[in-house]
Structure 1
Amino acid sequence: MKRRVVLLLLVVLSFGSGFFVASRHPFSRKDIGSAQKLIGLQFGKGDVDTMFAYLERNLTGYEAMRSLRLPETTVPPLLFTTNYRTGSKEQHKKIDWSVEANPDAVSEEELAFLNVEQLAALIKAKKVSSVELTQLFLSRIKQYDPTLLAVITVTEELALAQARKMDEELAEGKYRGPLHGIPYGIKDLFAVQGYPTTWGSKPYEHQVLDYNATVVTKLEEAGAVLVAKLTSGALARGDVWFGGQTKNPWDTTQGASGSSAGVGSAVAAGLVPFGIGTETLGSIVSPSSRCGVTGLRPTFGRVSRYGCMSLSWSMDKPGPITKTAMDCAIVLEAIMGPDNLDLTVDDVQLQHPAVLSAKSLRVGYLKGMMESDSTELGKNAIALLNGLMEAGYEMQEIELPAEDSIPYSSFDVILRAEAGAFFDELVRSHGVDKMVEQTGGSRANSLRQSRFIPAVEYLQANRHRQVLMDKMDETMAEIDILIAPTFSRQLLITNLTGHPALAFPTGFDYKSRPTSLTLVGHLFEEEELVAFGAQIQALTDFHVQHPPMFK
């Protein structure tokens, strides 16, 4: 059995390299013949005889690579880029975010559910201090997290030190902007110096990375106060981590969904005013939708991933989860931009969403998908569309690239192959066996099978991905905003193409749980998403509703 496993790995892995060495690997030509069945090919006996020495050489190269440990921050030089062609090389000009000058003081209960803009006004006017806010949210975490399981590590000592510093600076007349003194939480995929970075997984429960992720550094520079490292599904899959399942605050019998589950749950329950999640295939928009909050998945290449666990180097995207669309823009501006560490990041100006006229935006929608959904989710979507049309918005029907021209079933190999490379040592050391979930659909099983994805098929899938990107450009050519069901084919498409998306609540189902829709925008034009989302939230009040048991 061990001989066959070694051979199976040999046949399906990347191109071999290195000098010929004498045969020393115990596999046979018969093993090669059996392995071909996994990749859907059949070579003749003469072909197998010819390739035998190459396969031995490949394995020698693999073993040489495995003997040298790669830091988690090392990425391949093959960098994915979107179809965005006109990236600016000019330094980003900071947005002038104005806040209310003389806000009314509010109760402690109300403070927990105010958005970033409202809290910023109170802090700047000195109606509340950063220390007071920080103590409030630390208290709420201790009170409610045993129910929600949304927090992995409370960073209390760091938070209070940061909060005191922000209060001192404000007293001296130094104001850093709308995030000055605002508490937040971050998905526990991001490195924070002095604290564990567990990646939500048992094998890494005690891992400490001795540096800060770029996003953490940028938020500290903006004046934000880190109160907690929030749960991630194990190695960024689902809502189950080594401590249990993170709960939806609207229905604690239900998981919070998506690997940024802790962020969605904590923001919805008022444990933090905003949080930072990541998305590879739905992990910002999914928990935002499940928990009734607003999540922005930025354009691929907008925000640095340095210091963040990688699931897929060509698909991972950090972004904010907040209470409002405008809050998303405030947080995005703070965390975006190059750092000379993540070479995929471009420096593209973000405009203030308030300068845009939402009614000037060209809007498309996936009518067929919405009308075919007879659940409350579909009904709420249609009701929102009708409301927008009554408010004077013109919309056109849009179709996504057809299945007969795109091999949608092939694209999962991209994520799985890249994840397999990042977690190669975990699989080879059998540390993957320590993960909590070991089912057929678990991350552990996905990582094991990644060894059987041929390099040729990975590259072919990426060639088809380019065709998809071109077709999506054609789909978006006549519109600025696409309104789509959150859980539809657009989720796979736009994560592959790198387009930004904004998920927001649209109402409630028969169990009083939130429903949602997603807005998709052009590459590096998040301000249009936010402008349109903010207009929707000005016409509705779903984003200001709170889970009853956490008020």
Structure 2
Amino acid sequence: MMDRRDFLERCAAAGLGSTMLPGALAALAVNSVVAQTSTGSTKAEPPAITAFPPITVEMLDAAAVIAGLTLTAEQKAMMLDGVREQRAGLQAIRDLHLPNSVAPAMVFHPLPQGYQMPAAPDVHRPAKRHDAVPIIPGEEKLAFASIPELGGLLRSRKMTCLEMTRFFLARTQALDAKLHLLVTPTTERALAQAAQVDKDIAAGRYRSGLHGIPWGAKDLLSVKGYRTTWGAAGMETQQFDEDATVVQRLDAAGAILISKLTLGALAQGDVWFGGRTRNPWNTKQGSSGSSAGPASAVSAGCCAFAIGSETLGSISSPSTRCGVTGLRPTFGFVPRTGAMALSWSMDKLGPIARSVEDAAMVMAAIHGSDGVDTSCIPATFEISSKDLSSLRVGYLESAFNEPVLRTPDANAEKPETEAQKRESAQQRQQAFERQRYDNRYDRATLDVLRSMGIQLISVRLPDLPFSSISKVLSVEAAAAFDEITRNGRVNLLTAQSANDWPNQFRTARMYSGVDYVQAMRARTVLIAQMAELFRTVDIIVTPSGGPQLTATNLSGHPAVIIPNGLRGNDAPLPQDTTDGGRMNAGGPGTPVSITFLGKLYDDATVLAFAQRYQEKTGFHKLHPQVG
């Protein structure tokens, strides 16, 4: 066991920010034991509270430093018994061995006070396109056909569902060697579903526009009879005896689940226990994450659509990298029952598809309360054919401004030599050139919208510390994976850098319950101010990254991310050109995107507007050559 001096030195070396004392104290003790006993360990049981060092007044001194508190000797003496009792009480909760599927008793909803839910449109969407289409010659055209085109082939009986399913199963497994996007093919299930679809069509029965359409599931969705690995080493054989609600709903719509696709371990990045999932446009690059497999598979023509998830960019980022269309629905619009929990107040499930039209067809099948996910509420989703010209369209003006060359951070560590100074200046210049190049595509979006007769309104995001508020994500994630952090199994995950989950889970234990509640109160302010912003506009167009991504994931607003062109041969090279390098992104011949934001639970309107822009530009029709 550590002695007092070692304990205090480790506390000082941790350099952790301010939190409240009891949580920090308990976390320090937990981490000290785990650090000593479980590095690289696969032991199933974490250490008991009784195995920790006894709490002393000196420990309160160390914890007070982490908590940012000043305590008198009298106050510490008064606290000691209560803190000891509090830590002892943790064991009773830990002994419950709460599974990931158990949500907190608190239920998050993103609705501000007095918010009026969008009403169903007066003019209903046009009838689903069930008309036949010509035979699609060649494998490439079949691989990249739209949902209506594939459906037309089936309904015209120019191709059976079994033939189509076998084609996409084979393509996925063939391209997996290049892209590392496949965890488990669901072959037996898919072929049985396809045979039933062929019987239905022969009898003239059509369940929906998705009837017979092949799709893939991010491997955080449970599927009965198949493993659900969450992308994590140590969980390769994990199974659940249920189908996730979205899987059940897509089954009911007649869609054919052909594969369980990769995600970064525990929904972070694109590195999973099988390696790094690749970008079909440049296979030396990762596909970004954490919906790495879904975006890569749709981009490469391995399935017509996939279901991904986003907590903080996990649909937006891979959709951008892989040049596909992603819908991050309003928080609470799609039930997450049967999906891995990362952050109960931020997780969202949504479609990744070739086009906005395809994404809307999928959303129509998966939205709405299931009576189990208590954060999911009944809401109307109906794409209308109404005139969109009356919509007020805002744009985040500062995000479209031409970038400026970044000056050195006055607080950053200064380069020691002239060579280091030159290297630092060169890196800043190269980053500036990449930003300036990509800014052309963002600004071109505004020109296209104006050419469509749209009067753009300049808007600004609330002036709030979004990144500080977003710490609620890592705290909830640390709770979701508390046990594997305490027993050391988190050390089995492939990625172990300072920015990866293992370190984030441990660091989040230094964040107190009081600070979490304060951050959620600040989130209430953010939600109210975002509601004020959306009283002035109906849609906001924005570059896909930047502060808006954090702000809108916290506020729960929907986003549609669509392809917005390809970088030319004159594009600056990525920061890192090594094969699979973390910073290998962008560069010649890779996609860019643009994002449209909408009002809460008004996903149908923002989809309709994004479809109008997409049809004007046609960038979604581009696809990589990976066959």
Which band: TM-score by shorter chain?
over 0.9
For the residues of structure 2 that align with 1:497 and 1:15, how far apart are their CA atoms? 32
For the residues of structure 2 that align with 1:397 and 1:198, how far apart are their CA atoms? 44
Q: Which runs of 5+ in 1 are unaligned?
A: 17-21
The answer to whether the 8 A contact 2:270-2:288 is kept is yes
1:546 maps to amino acid: H
1:19 is matched with none
Q: Secondary structure in 2 aligned to 1:254? A: strand
**Aligned counterparts, 1:140-539, within 5 A:** 140-353=171-384, 355-373=385-403, 375-402=436-463, 406-509=464-567, 510=571, 511-539=588-616
Q: For the structure 1 residues 94 and 131, does the alpha-carbon distance in structure 2 shift closer, same or farther, using more than 3 Å as the test?
A: farther
Deviations 1:236-258 (A, max 9, x none): 11111111111111011111112
2:85 is matched with 57
Q: For the structure 1 residues 320 and 218, does the alpha-carbon distance in structure 2 shift closer, same or farther, using more than 3 Å as the test?
A: same
The answer to whether the 8 A contact 1:258-1:283 is kept is yes
1:72 is matched with 100
Shift of residue 203 of structure 1? Answer: 2.0
Shift of residue 86 of structure 1? Answer: 3.9
Shift of residue 96 of structure 1? Answer: 6.7
Deviations 1:72-128 (A, max 9, x none): 2211110111125345999xx997742152311112331110111221222222222
1:422 maps to amino acid: A
Deviations 1:336-355 (A, max 9, x none): 111111011111111224x2
For the residues of structure 2 that align with 1:100 and 1:295, how far apart are their CA atoms? 24
CA RMSD, aligned part only?
2.4
Q: Which runs of 5+ in 2 are unaligned?
A: 12-18, 27-49, 404-434, 572-587
Q: For the structure 1 residues 24 and 547, does the alpha-carbon distance in structure 2 shift closer, same or farther, using more than 3 Å as the test?
A: closer
Q: For the structure 1 residues 444 and 23, does the alpha-carbon distance in structure 2 shift closer, same or farther, using more than 3 Å as the test?
A: closer
Q: For the structure 1 residues 418 and 449, does the alpha-carbon distance in structure 2 shift closer, same or farther, using more than 3 Å as the test?
A: same
1:49 maps to amino acid: A
For the residues of structure 2 that align with 1:23 and 1:290, how far apart are their CA atoms? 47
Q: Does 1:29 align with 2:57?
A: yes
1:179 maps to amino acid: L
The answer to whether the 8 A contact 1:10-1:59 is kept is no
Q: Secondary structure in 2 aligned to 1:436? A: coil
Q: How many corresponding residue pairs? A: 539
Q: Does 1:133 align with 2:164?
A: yes
Q: For the structure 1 residues 2 and 348, does the alpha-carbon distance in structure 2 shift closer, same or farther, using more than 3 Å as the test?
A: farther
For the residues of structure 2 that align with 1:282 and 1:164, how far apart are their CA atoms? 37
Deviations 1:164-209 (A, max 9, x none): 1111111122110111010100100111111111101102111111
For the residues of structure 1 that align with 2:349 and 2:126, how far apart are their CA atoms? 23
The answer to whether the 8 A contact 2:305-2:351 is kept is yes
Deviations 1:115-159 (A, max 9, x none): 112212222222222111111111111211111011111111111
TM norm structure 1: 0.93
Shift of residue 408 of structure 1? Answer: 2.6
- Segment drifting more, 96-105 vs 194-203: 96-105
For the residues of structure 1 that align with 2:348 and 2:307, how far apart are their CA atoms? 11
- Segment drifting more, 183-192 vs 472-481: 472-481
The answer to whether the 8 A contact 1:232-1:262 is kept is yes
2:133 maps to amino acid: P
2:151 is matched with 120
TM norm structure 2: 0.82
For the residues of structure 2 that align with 1:484 and 1:3, how far apart are their CA atoms? 54
The answer to whether the 8 A contact 1:356-1:528 is kept is no
Shift of residue 282 of structure 1? Answer: 0.5
2:427 is matched with none
Deviations 1:460-504 (A, max 9, x none): 011111111111111121111100010111000000000000000
Shift of residue 42 of structure 1? Answer: 1.7
For the residues of structure 1 that align with 2:125 and 2:187, how far apart are their CA atoms? 31
Shift of residue 508 of structure 1? Answer: 1.3
For the residues of structure 1 that align with 2:20 and 2:451, how far apart are their CA atoms? 62
For the residues of structure 1 that align with 2:20 and 2:533, how far apart are their CA atoms? 41
1:394 maps to amino acid: Q
